[in-house]
């Protein structure tokens, strides 16, 4: 490999750190399902926990972690908070995993 190719391959350490953190967070099946579901539409907590069939407290804990890692954000509409994926890195990673799937909660 040429020296310039080596520099291109290993020059973006910051990107690798961020993507590695996202992969760690998405390594939990519930969080991966949440992010995959939010790729197509924003949802409120109630719809998310109903779709997953999990207690609200469990879903809220996972949403808080995703929010703290800047993968999702919440938008308040009255008393409800609607979540959406805001991380382009997470969108790219989850999009690659579920390339041909249409994941939604209808």
List, for residues 22-42, the tens digit of each pLDDT value. Answer: 999 999 999 999 999 999 899
What is the spatial distance between Cα 71 and Cα 56, in angstroms, rounded to a whole number? Answer: 20
Nearest to 23 by CA among 35, 37, 41: 35
Residue 73 · residue 38 · CB < 8 Å? no
Give percent of the chain above pLDDT 90.
72
CA count, 13 A, side-chain hemisphere, 23? 9
Looking at residue 94, its pLDDT comes to 94
- Residue appearing with tokens 């995959």: 36
Q: Which residue has the tokens 């938008």?
A: 75
Locus of tokens 């308040």: 76
Domains and CATH numbers, the chain: 13-97 (1.10.10.10)
């Amino acid at each position: 490999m040429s020296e310039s190719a080596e520099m291109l391959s290993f020059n973006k350490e910051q990107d690798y750190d961020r993507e590695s953190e996202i992969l760690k967070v998405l390594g939990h099946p519930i969080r991966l399902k949440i992010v995959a579901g939010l790729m197509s539409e924003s949802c409120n907590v109630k719809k998310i926990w109903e779709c997953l069939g999990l207690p609200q407290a469990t879903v809220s804990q996972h949403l808080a972690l995703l929010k703290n890692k800047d993968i999702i954000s919440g938008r308040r509409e009255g008393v409800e908070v609607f979540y959406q994926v805001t991380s382009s890195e997470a969108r790219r990673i989850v999009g690659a995993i579920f390339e041909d799937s249409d994941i939604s909660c209808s």
